[in-house]
Structure 1
Amino acid sequence: MLAPSLLTLRVAAVDTLTPLIRSFTLDAADAVLLPGYEPGAHIQVEIPFSGVGAPQWRSYSLINLDPSVDPRAGVPAYRLGIRREDEGRGGSRHMHALEVGQTLNVRAPANHFPLAAPAPVLLIAGGIGITPIASMAAELAAQQRDFELHFSGRTRDSLPFVDELRALAGKRLVLWSDDDPNARLSVDALLENAQVNQPIYVCGPAGMVNAVLAVARKRGWHECDLHHELFTETASQEGDVAFEVELKQSGTRLTVPADRSLLDTLIENGVDVMYDCRAGYCGLCSTRVCDGEINHRDTYLSDADKTSGKVMQVCVSRCTSGRLVLDL
């Protein structure tokens, strides 16, 4: 029997939006309303683990493109947009292989990227990062609040949901594409024409998100007006080396390879760890450190927390002393 926070959903529709992006509609077999959600929310989908180990979970943002719909009250179906990542860890490949009628275990909606800011709001999305941003645009349109939506991709044809976005945003939607020299997104130019401390919500690849945050900070934006979500998990970096981790409560010792995250190593060895974003910003995987020096790579912990060395985000951070002891 599934826990109350888990749902068994049916794949009701699969639509190809671009060569790499598909839209998935998930509903309940008994046609009951699904738990409601606010803009920026996501669900987690259970992905079977191909080797020895527990199934893993992948987070996908919930999309609402209809300003007349308030998803808070419950919805008949969830809609996801998923880009296939052939070099990823298998979640998107599994999802892209799904067919109508198959079922999935899904965790109820959660939100680490809520929309809560006065107008005018500046929405910026890169690629599949449009999925939470689209729901925010629909919410702002429904409330008749002022906003701009800037949507960038490698090519114009790689941008999904354009017709629906144009229908809800009209002239407030601006499309950018790297393949056209006259239509490439310039973060400097965009923020030069914005109001300092105008609320910014940005989601997409790490490079774009980091560029927006860096330029905004340089121009004087306050941190409270900068809201972001990454749509890429932190990859291994040059110079990463293997290290040993000891789990204090059980005495178990594991080796974390240079090209694997600490979180993945824990999961693959049956360790029960809470996690969600896998990019170091949600804080769900915060774990107490008993011993070891940490290379903190998250954006969740404060500078004081990082300096203390007593806690780490196991999804992205690593050990630099060769041996790590966690309170697990």
Structure 2
Amino acid sequence: MANSQGLQLVVTEVRAETPLIRSLVLARPHGAPLPSWQPGAHIDIQLPGGGERSYSLINLKSDPDAGTRPAAYRLGVRLEDPSTGGSRFMHGLKRGDTVQITPPSNNFPLEPDHRPVVLVAGGIGVTPIVSMAGALSAEQRPFRFYYAGRKRQELAFLTEINALCADKLTIHADDEVGGFFDIKALMGSLKGGERLYCCGPLPMIETAIAAAKELGWEQERLRFELFAAAAPRADDASFEVVLKSTGESFQIPSDKSILDVLIEAGKDPLYDCKRGDCGICQVTVLEGVPDHRDYILSDAEKAEGKMMQICVSRSKTPRLVIDL
């Protein structure tokens, strides 16, 4: 599972950042320091009805010690429509409420090199990206920050980000320029080997991945994180999964993932993001042909069909046997 060691925290502050985005500050009941974290890290919030949702930790200051044993965690949450329960629960929290969380983990780290960095955030994807901007500013590393959204008034934390980044920040509001942010054009303009970190909606991420391949970028040059899980497809069918270790068989319905079915059955598979972009739930495929929907494996690895991410990927054959 993602992390079994939980912490109970109290909501100490709630603030509306935009009509759909609110920030929440969480702390221990008696103010003791919290576990440290690095830019790109997230915590999982346990939902009352079961399950959890991941939210990136936010730092809006140029402070090298912002994530070191902090007194509180700050989150930004967008109310989704329709909501699967996570954002609705988070938007219903008020000061004094308690939440159960897992300590920070990080699948989207800022690499410790000195090359120039380009940061791209789309909408609520700003939450991990702004923490990277804070760290880069504190370390006096060169960077540029592109923040895109439909309307300027929908861009959360804009005042703080302007103060933090100054002339390093470029704002793109779709309604002001008459179109979506062109991440492909940006990537094509980067000639100095800059590493690009991107968090945003699925179309932005998929465009960036395709552009990186077209431009011949080395695999680690583009780093990204999704902020939403992939939705089931209309043509998804059920299939059988067999665990090699026990011989147990599970039927995977069209509207659930392999991971979800195994968790419901009381199994304890490793996982974290549930979006196909962290690689923690990866398993070996012994029989059958996986239907890859992750953003981790290379094209060659997908074609080989020997590994899969059980949080999002499905099966092209009626039966899969996995090494679990």
The alignment partner of 1:165 has SS state of helix
| 1:25 maps to amino acid | V
The alignment partner of 1:134 has SS state of helix
- Structure 2 length normalisation: TM-score? 0.91
Give the structure 2 partner of residue 95 of structure 1. 90
Give the structure 1 partner of residue 78 of structure 2. 83
List gaps (5 residues or longer) in structure 1. 50-54
Give the structure 2 partner of residue 40 of structure 1. 40
Q: Equivalents in 2 of 1:193, 1:319: separation in Å?
A: 39
- CA displacement 1:47-96 (0-9 Å, x = unmatched): 233xxxxx312211110001135134210000011111232421111211
| 2:135 maps to amino acid | E
Give the structure 1 partner of residue 13 of structure 2. 13
**Is 1:318 matched up with 2:314?**
yes
Give the structure 1 partner of residue 287 of structure 2. 291
Give how far 1:248 is off: 4.4
**Is 1:73 matched up with 2:89?**
no
- CA displacement 1:263-308 (0-9 Å, x = unmatched): 2222233332221111212111123434322111212234565455
Q: Equivalents in 2 of 1:168, 1:231: separation in Å?
A: 23
Q: Equivalents in 1 of 2:298, 2:189: separation in Å?
A: 31
Q: Equivalents in 1 of 2:313, 2:284: separation in Å?
A: 13
Q: Equivalents in 1 of 2:243, 2:185: separation in Å?
A: 49
The alignment partner of 2:75 has SS state of strand
Alignment of 1:173-322 (within 5 A): 173-182=169-178, 184-303=180-299, 305-322=301-318
| 2:129 maps to amino acid | I
269-278 or 132-141: bigger deviation = 269-278
Q: Equivalents in 2 of 1:87, 1:36: separation in Å?
A: 33
Give the structure 2 partner of residue 107 of structure 1. 102
Q: Equivalents in 2 of 1:288, 1:239: separation in Å?
A: 25
| 2:30 maps to amino acid | D
Give the structure 2 partner of residue 52 of structure 1. none
Q: Equivalents in 1 of 2:247, 2:213: separation in Å?
A: 44
The alignment partner of 2:295 has SS state of coil
- Kindly indicate whether the alpha-carbon contact (under 8 Å) linking 1:196 and 1:219 is maintained by their aligned counterparts in 2: no
Q: Equivalents in 2 of 1:317, 1:181: separation in Å?
A: 37
- CA displacement 1:79-124 (0-9 Å, x = unmatched): 0111112324211112111121121221111111111143321100
Q: Equivalents in 1 of 2:45, 2:73: separation in Å?
A: 12
- Structure 1 length normalisation: TM-score? 0.90
Q: Equivalents in 2 of 1:287, 1:212: separation in Å?
A: 26
Give how far 1:228 is off: 0.8
The alignment partner of 1:270 has SS state of coil
| 1:92 maps to amino acid | S
237-246 or 104-113: bigger deviation = 237-246
How many residue pairs match? The answer is 321
Give how far 1:32 is off: 0.7
Change (3 A) 1:315 1:142: same
The alignment partner of 1:71 has SS state of coil
Q: Equivalents in 2 of 1:183, 1:298: separation in Å?
A: 28
List gaps (5 residues or longer) in structure 2. none
Give how far 1:36 is off: 0.9
**Is 1:56 matched up with 2:51?**
yes
- CA displacement 1:105-146 (0-9 Å, x = unmatched): 211111111111433211000011000100000111111221
Q: Equivalents in 1 of 2:289, 2:116: separation in Å?
A: 43
Percent identity for Structure 1 against Structure 2: 45
| 1:202 maps to amino acid | C
The alignment partner of 1:80 has SS state of strand
287-296 or 107-116: bigger deviation = 287-296
Give the structure 2 partner of residue 30 of structure 1. 30
**Is 1:143 matched up with 2:124?**
no
Q: Equivalents in 2 of 1:161, 1:292: separation in Å?
A: 47
- Kindly indicate whether the alpha-carbon contact (under 8 Å) linking 1:118 and 1:199 is maintained by their aligned counterparts in 2: no
The alignment partner of 2:249 has SS state of strand
| 2:57 maps to amino acid | L
